[in-house]
Amino acid sequence: MIIVIDGPAGSGKSSTARAIADRMGIEYLDSGALYRTATLIYLEANRDKETFFRLLNQNKITFYYEDQKFHVLVDGQSVTDKIRTSKVTSAVSEVAALPRVRSFVNNLMRDVVLDGVYIAEGRDLGTAVFPDAELKFFMSADLEERAKRRLNERKEKNPGLTLEEVKQNIAERDLKDSRRKADPLKKADDAIEIDTTNLTFEQQVDKICLEISEVLKEIE
Ligand code: DC
């Protein structure tokens, strides 16, 4: 069974999906982390597409969720922290727009969810990757609010970061992610929209957990 949460950067998808996975004892899948991993490989290939696609097919990408963290390994080596650097963040929309990269990541995800109950988060999961998902959510929030949340998350590791920089980065990514030709960021028609601008974290987690419990009850 697959439950998906889509939404723009900083809308709270990732922390919410992790809290739900922990509370409900289900698996968590972070599709953005897989695009970030592809981006890391692209940068390591010095942006040379031929080398990049060769490495993408040769390297074995594995992942698992543990202790509130989505871990990714490339050929057995952890890249969990490396994929969160600003170098990767700045290049990820460009790499995620490549149709070959999208089908690569989609296949990785579709293979893994065949077993168990998963909550996955991303941009196009309800529309392109899992159109038949049992439950779909679309999380949104004001740009200002999203930037404040991102800054809070990042300021410990990057004390020089400003609200304006985060806001600009998020706005640029939103634009690229929603305007790209290949599977853009888009709310699925049958997704439940959750605007988190004025919700506390607990409120948004409760709201989604309630919907999931209802569906699980129906299935049992
Ligand atoms: O959720 P995130 O910020 O880690 O995602 C990183 C990038 O990956 C984001 O800018 C767009 C891309 N992405 C995507 O195109 N499709 C997804 N399903 C998830 C992420």
pLDDT band with cut points at 50, 70 and 90 for residue 217: confident
- Determine the average pLDDT of the residues in 198-215: 93
Closest atom of ligand 1 to 6 CA is 18
User: Does the C-beta of 124 come closer than 6 Å to ligand 1?
Assistant: yes
Position 219 pLDDT exceeds 90: no
Ligand 1 centroid to 93 CA: how many Å? 7
- Determine the average pLDDT of the residues in 185-204: 94
Nearest to 190 by CA among 112, 123, 135, 143: 135
pLDDT at 74: 98
| Residue whose entry in the numeric block shows the structure tokens 């939404």 | 7
pLDDT band with cut points at 50, 70 and 90 for residue 76: very high
pLDDT at 10: 87
Between CA 146 and CA 70 the distance in angstroms is 21
Between CA 114 and CA 10 the distance in angstroms is 28
Neighbours of 59 (CB within 10 A): 16
Our CA dihedral for 7, 10, 16, 21, rounded to 10 degrees, sits at 80
Atom 11, ligand 1: residue with shortest CA distance = 93
145 and 207 in contact (C-beta within 8 Å)? no
Nearest to 130 by CA among 146, 111, 149: 111
Domain residue ranges in the chain: 2-197
- Determine the average pLDDT of the residues in 40-57: 97
Closest atom of ligand 1 to 176 CA is 10
Ligand 1 centroid to 41 CA: how many Å? 16
Between CA 101 and CA 59 the distance in angstroms is 14
Distance, C-alpha 216 to centroid of its chain: 23
User: Does the C-beta of 88 come closer than 6 Å to ligand 1?
Assistant: no
Rg (CA), the chain: 17
Position 220 pLDDT exceeds 80: no
pLDDT at 157: 84
**φ, ψ at 38 (rounded to 5°):** -60, -40
For residue 216, give every residue at least 6 positions away whose Cβ sits within 8 Å of its Cβ, in sequence order, or none.
Answer: none
DSSP state string for 80-109: TTGGGSHHHHHHHHHHHT-HHHHHHHHHHH
Ligand 1 centroid to 89 CA: how many Å? 9
Ligand 1 centroid to 30 CA: how many Å? 9
Ligand 1 centroid to 8 CA: how many Å? 8
Between CA 24 and CA 216 the distance in angstroms is 11
Instruction: Pull the structure tokens for residue 73.
Output: 């390994």
What is the bridge-based pairing of β-strands 69-74 and 61-66? antiparallel
Q: Which fold has domain 2-197?
A: Rossmann fold (3.40.50)
Closest atom of ligand 1 to 125 CA is 18
User: Does the C-beta of 147 come closer than 6 Å to ligand 1?
Assistant: no
